Structure 1
Amino acid sequence: MNRWQIRPLTAEHTRGLAECHIACWRAAYQGLVPEHVLAAFDVERLTQRWERDRIRNPGCLHVAVVDDTVIGFAVAAPNRGETAVAAIELNAIYVRSPWHGTGVADELLQAAVDPAASCSLWVFEENPRAQAFYRKHGFELDGARKVEEFSPAMQVRMVRPGR
Structure 2
Amino acid sequence: MRSPLNVRPARPDDADAMADVHVGSWRQTYRGLMRDEVLDDPALLPARGRFWKAVLTEERYEPFRAAVAEVDGAVVGIALAGPAIEADVAWDTQLYVLYLLDAFHGSGAGRRLMEAVLPAGTSAGLWVADPNPRAQAFYVKQGFEPDGMTKVDDGVREVRMVRAAHPTVPVS
The reply to whether TM is greater than 0.5 is yes
1:141 partner SS: strand
Output the CA distance in 2 between the equivalents of 1:116 and 1:86. 11
- Contact 2:91-2:125 within 8 A present in 1 as well: yes
Equivalent position of 2:169 in the other structure: none
TM-score by length of 1: 0.94
Alignment partner of 1:6 is 2:7: yes
- Give the Cα–Cα distance (whole angstroms) in 2 for the partners of residues 36 and 138 of structure 1: 35
2-structure distance, mates of 1:142, 1:80: 17
For 1:93 and 1:50, how far apart are their aligned partners in 2?
Answer: 13
Q: 1:110 aligns with which of 103, 115, 120?
A: 115
Instruction: Give, in whole Å, the separation in 1 of the partners of 2:148 and 2:68.
Output: 30
Could you tell which deviates more after superposition, 127-136 or 41-50? 41-50
Give the aligned length: 161
1:130 corresponds in structure 2 to 135
Q: Corresponding residue for 1:43?
A: 45
Contact 2:38 2:44 in 1 (8 A): no
1:154 aligns with 2:165: no
Q: How many angstroms does 1:98 deviate by?
A: 0.7
Contact 2:12 2:57 in 1 (8 A): no
C-alpha displacement of 1:80: 2.5
| CA–CA separation in structure 2 for the residues paired with 1:51 and 1:20 | 14
Which residues of structure 2 form unaligned runs of 5+?
167-172
Q: Distance in 1 between matches of 2:105 and 2:87?
A: 34
Structure 2: distance between partners of 1:44 and 1:155: 25
- Which stretches in structure 1 are left out of the alignment for 5+ residues? none
CA distance in 2, matches of 1:47, 1:31: 24
| Secondary structure of the structure 2 residue equivalent to 1:90 | strand
Structure 2 length as normaliser, TM-score? 0.89
Deviation at 1:76, TM superposition (A): 0.4
Q: Which 4+ residue blocks in structure 1 deviate beyond 6 angstroms?
A: none
Q: Percent identity?
A: 33
